[in-house]
Amino acid sequence: MEYCPWSLESLRLVRAPEGATRNRLAAPTVVNAVYQVLHGLDYLKHFGREEARARDAMGNSDQQLNSTLTIAHCDIKSDNLMINFEGLVKICDFGLGVLLEDNKHITDNMERGSEAYMAPEVAETKEYWEACDVYSLGVSAYEMLTGRLPKGRTKFGFWKKTKEMILKVTDDNSILTNQLLVLLK
């Protein structure tokens, strides 16, 4: 096990220049971190394939285990991207991670990911696949570069609040319902 003393989030908060209104990381730092995380996510694809090959080599004849496996992290955010003393970025906290077969998605009732970072389709359908990790990385990169989350996102209850607001507006005024539905599409 390797010790990584910082997360990208902690670096963003600690390294803000004096008098800065927003805590940001320098663009080259963010680009380097994103590059490393993308390599890590790619490794998870290959690790899943190696896992499938290892199971196959052990003589497992189960059709399900002979498929291509990919690992999806399901909670990529700057708090889960750690940095060691050499400046290497490591992905941590695989508590919500899943093995996906044959590039399929997983659909279950389990809450996967942090709302402020999750792809919109995950919030709506609860379907998760590996591309959702890349979307979450994009939100994290935006936050590291600008010092804030994209407009309309908060770390607490973004989707729940948005849905409640939409339902309240549609309940209060049925005239707005059709206009709102057109905008949402």
- Known catalytic residues? 75
CB–CB of 112/133 below 8 Å? no
Give the SS3 label for residue 181.
helix
Q: Does residue 147 contact residue 24 with C-beta atoms inside 8 Å?
A: yes
Contact 99, 74 (CB under 8 A): no
Amino acid at 100: L
Among 120, 34, 125, residue whose Cα is nearest residue 78: 34
Q: Could you give the CA distance from residue 168 to residue 166 in angstroms, rounded to a whole number?
A: 5
Dig out the tokens for 90 from the structure.
Answer: 């490591």
